[in-house]
Amino acid sequence: MTENAFPVRAWPDICSAYRDGDLAKACLALQEAFAIDVPLLLVLSLADRAGYGIASVSVDDLVRGAAAWRETVIVPLRQARQGMKLKFTAPAEAALREGIKRLELEAEHQHVLRLVDALPPPIAEVGAASHYLSASGLTADAADDFIQTFKAACAAQIASSDHE
């Protein structure tokens, strides 16, 4: 992935990397334990991977800017979907839950597009994902563990796409 390709490829690359079970598990664990904004974390991780450096102050601005969309759009959809799970199981109710799940995924897609549009010009320094995780309360070791899981997921997805 080249620096110029990163913003354009953000959503497809996130979808590809998220297919890795370990990465998906790590993202959900961080979301539950630390209220991590997973699409934001994955955008920052992809930026780091592409060498698209984002200054710490700009990461903080992205976090603040992302909060309104996440809290207004994504979180209510997630809560509705999760609240229905195992409680409303009639076929029409299950279909509704699946529709909400599709809307939640589309809301996350729009979130990624909004984040990419808000990216500042790149700088030489990378480490935006680690900065975000540390600012969210993770230890340096836990942040490094996630970064390694992300890198492994990306490498696995690249290897599998090379064989398709």
pLDDT tens, 42-74? 999 999 999 999 999 999 999 999 999 999 999
Q: Please answer whether residues 65 and 118 qualify as being in contact, where contact means their C-beta atoms are separated by less than 8 angstroms.
A: yes
Q: What is the pLDDT of residue 82?
A: 94
Q: Please answer whether residues 37 and 136 qualify as being in contact, where contact means their C-beta atoms are separated by less than 8 angstroms.
A: no
Residue 21, phi then psi, degrees to nearest 5: -60, -40
Average pLDDT over residues 118-138: 92
Reported confidence tier of residue 156, pLDDT bands at 50, 70, 90: confident
Q: List the structure tokens of 94.
A: 């299950």
pTM of the model: 0.89
Residue 53, phi then psi, degrees to nearest 5: -70, 140
